């Protein structure tokens, strides 16, 4: 997805710890957490969140391998270079003894292997990471490609298709409810472009192969993934994202604090939501849930980057996983609240989940302990921007920002969370009727 740092002409204050406050596990009640009532009215929702209704007459029109645009904007390497060059940056705080090419515990000037700038688990930005395809490396059957992506919790993530006028876009999205997706706002609209919204949106969970040539249709949708596909009924994006004035905490058209959107899915042709076919949902956290006192954590990024695949023919349609260290940058004034990490993923991964505690949790007994913040599969951001040449990615932060100051957002007795993620969820599930339709919890 900062002493004082500069990003372009903007100053960012000292890196701070986000308050460890809330997490939603996709349930109406948040047992064990305090609920703060906010002054959240329909007028506030209307002014800060824009909800777009989509036509329903094109349900299940999932595209074949047609020309599409990977919506992620790549940020110039110089942006990251300036950020990394500052004394308090993650680069200079990293232990050089851990750098690939150096023997642990030895003189860091003595290399034992060539120190390549293209190392796939390091990149050029000194944030360790590893990126790998999810699925069979030597698939003899199509089901081999789908074997891992179709299992939980991988199956909560999928490929997102969008229609803009006569062109297709491609991103990634993840379930945070029975029929609720979280993705990036730029996947569904263009920054500072009023009325630039997608007119159709489709979700294919666990996509693992191409539909092949032809015209999009309602038939053979299962060939794209093991569960089929869903069309969206409506989505919610921050109003500031498409306003001509833009969002306050925005460094460029790609880097900012509110590149987040919520999508509600329509029932498929069998009147089912993803939950009805056995797909669960991730939780989501806000205001720095799970981060340590130095602003670091371990992150799992899932996505469908266009330049990566299980093999040559599946680039852009294979689920890709990245694991590594992530750092939170938090500043006051006009600074951005963002997360940054090392990643080999490329455009197409936009909107993909940034997950803490990814995977199926083991059953434990003494001497094992659960530790702090043990809740599994909690999304705290979605991939927003990056630079492929230096293997770096970043996301907007889930929580309170200049445009979304509420400490909680409560509709119908349900607290949807603080800040941007909470207000977007409340707009879609509460005022947008998603909860009443049984799509949210």
Task: Report pLDDT digits (tens) over 121-142.
Answer: 556 656 788 898 887 544 444 5
Say if 101 falls within a structural domain.
no
Token pair of 315 as six digits: 């680039």
- pLDDT value of position 63: 53
The Cα 326–Cα 299 span in angstroms is 6
The Cα 283–Cα 356 span in angstroms is 10
Q: Band of the pLDDT at 165, cuts 50, 70, 90?
A: confident
The Cα 404–Cα 49 span in angstroms is 10
Residue 10 per-residue DSSP state: E
H or E element in which residue 325 lies: strand 320-329
Q: What's 58's domain CATH number?
A: 2.40.10.120
Cβ-based neighbours of 416, under 8 Å, separated by 6 or more:
24, 408, 409, 410, 422, 423, 425, 426, 429, 430
- pLDDT value of position 332: 46
Over residues 297-305, the mean pLDDT reads: 94
The Cα 328–Cα 284 span in angstroms is 16
The Cα 89–Cα 3 span in angstroms is 9
Say if 106 falls within a structural domain.
no
How many domains does the chain divide into? 1
Contact between 230 and 393 under an 8 Å Cβ cutoff? The reply is no
pLDDT at position 265 over 90: yes
Question: Token match 């740092």: residue?
Answer: 5
Query: Residue 13's Cα: distance from chain center in Å?
Result: 25
CA end-to-end span of the chain, whole Å? Answer: 28
Q: Residue 73's beta-bridge partner residues?
A: 385
The whole-chain average pLDDT of the chain stands at: 75
Over residues 292-299, the mean pLDDT reads: 82
Over residues 78-90, the mean pLDDT reads: 57
pLDDT at position 116 over 50: no
Say if 441 falls within a structural domain.
no
Which among 317, 153, 303 has a CA at the least distance from the CA of 225? 317
Mean pLDDT lowest among 76-90, 145-159, 200-214: 76-90
pLDDT greater at residue 417 or residue 80: 417
Token pair of 383 as six digits: 């991939």
Contact between 339 and 326 under an 8 Å Cβ cutoff? The reply is yes
- pLDDT value of position 279: 95
Cβ-based neighbours of 19, under 8 Å, separated by 6 or more:
287, 288
DSSP SS3 for 79: helix
The full DSSP string for 263-321 is EEEPP-TTS--GGGGT----EEEESSTT--TTSEEEEEEEE--TT--SSGGGTTTS-EE
The Cα 388–Cα 441 span in angstroms is 37
- pLDDT value of position 372: 87
DSSP SS3 for 115: coil
Q: Residue 262's beta-bridge partner residues?
A: 182, 236
Say if 388 falls within a structural domain.
yes
Q: Residue 297's beta-bridge partner residues?
A: 326
The Cα 398–Cα 283 span in angstroms is 12
CB atoms within 10 A of CB 407: 21
Domain that holds residue 24: 5-88+118-362+372-431
Question: Token match 């990394």: residue?
Answer: 84
- pLDDT value of position 299: 93
Cβ-based neighbours of 2, under 8 Å, separated by 6 or more:
12, 13, 14, 15, 83, 86, 88, 89, 329, 331
- pLDDT value of position 301: 97
The backbone torsions φ and ψ at residue 214, rounded to the nearest 5 degrees and listed phi first, read 130, 180
Contact between 282 and 353 under an 8 Å Cβ cutoff? The reply is yes
pLDDT at position 367 over 50: yes
Contact between 52 and 235 under an 8 Å Cβ cutoff? The reply is yes
Q: Band of the pLDDT at 413, cuts 50, 70, 90?
A: very high
CB atoms within 10 A of CB 114: 8
Angle (CA) 80 292 19, round 5°:
95
Token pair of 55 as six digits: 């036509």
- pLDDT value of position 125: 57
pLDDT at position 28 over 70: no
In total, the chain counts a number of residues equal to 441
Mean pLDDT lowest among 86-90, 179-183, 408-412: 86-90
pLDDT at position 21 over 70: no
């Amino acid at each position: 997805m900062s002493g004082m740092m500069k990003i372009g002409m903007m100053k960012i204050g000292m890196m701070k710890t986000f308050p460890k406050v809330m997490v939603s596990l996709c349930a109406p009640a948040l047992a064990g957490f305090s609920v703060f009532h906010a002054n959240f009215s329909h007028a506030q929702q209307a002014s800060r969140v824009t909800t777009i209704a989509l036509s329903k007459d094109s349900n299940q029109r999932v595209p074949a391998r047609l020309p599409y645009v990977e919506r992620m904007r790549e940020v110039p390497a110089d942006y990251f270079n300036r950020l990394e060059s500052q004394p308090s940056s993650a680069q200079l705080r990293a232990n050089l003894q851990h750098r690939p090419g150096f023997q642990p515990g030895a003189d860091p000037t003595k290399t034992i292997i060539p120190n390549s700038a293209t190392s796939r688990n390091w990149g050029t930005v000194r944030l360790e990471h590893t990126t790998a395809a999810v699925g069979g490396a030597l698939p003899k059957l199509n089901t081999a490609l789908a074997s891992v992506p179709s299992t939980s919790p991988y199956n909560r993530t999928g490929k997102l298709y969008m229609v803009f006028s006569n062109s297709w876009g491609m991103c990634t999205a993840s379930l945070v409810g029975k029929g609720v997706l979280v993705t990036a706002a730029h996947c569904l609209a263009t920054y500072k472009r009023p009325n630039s919204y997608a007119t159709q949106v489709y979700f294919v969970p666990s996509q693992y192969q191409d539909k092949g040539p032809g015209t999009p249709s309602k038939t053979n949708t299962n060939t794209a993934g093991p569960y089929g596909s869903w069309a969206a009924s409506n989505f919610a994006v921050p109003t500031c994202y498409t306003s001509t004035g833009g969002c306050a905490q925005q460094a460029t058209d790609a880097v900012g604090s509110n590149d987040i959107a919520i999508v509600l899915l329509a029932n498929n042709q069998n009147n089912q939501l993803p939950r009805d076919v056995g797909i669960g949902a991730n939780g989501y956290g806000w205001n720095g849930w799970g981060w340590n006192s130095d602003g670091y954590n371990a992150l799992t990024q899932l996505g469908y980057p266009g330049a990566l695949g299980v093999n040559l023919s599946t680039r852009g349609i294979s689920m890709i996983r990245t694991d590594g260290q992530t750092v939170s940058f938090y500043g006051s004034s006009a600074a951005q609240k963002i997360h940054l990490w090392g990643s080999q993923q490329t455009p197409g991964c936009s909107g993909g989940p940034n997950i803490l505690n990814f995977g199926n949790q083991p059953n434990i007994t003494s001497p094992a302990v659960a530790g702090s913040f043990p809740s599994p599969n909690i999304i705290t951001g979605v991939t927003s921007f990056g630079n492929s040449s230096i293997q770096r990615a970043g996301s907007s932060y889930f929580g309170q920002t200049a445009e979304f100051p509420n400490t909680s957002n409560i509709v119908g007795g349900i607290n949807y969370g603080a800040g941007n993620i909470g207000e977007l969820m409340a707009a879609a599930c509460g005022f947008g009727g998603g909860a009443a339709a049984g799509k949210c919890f």
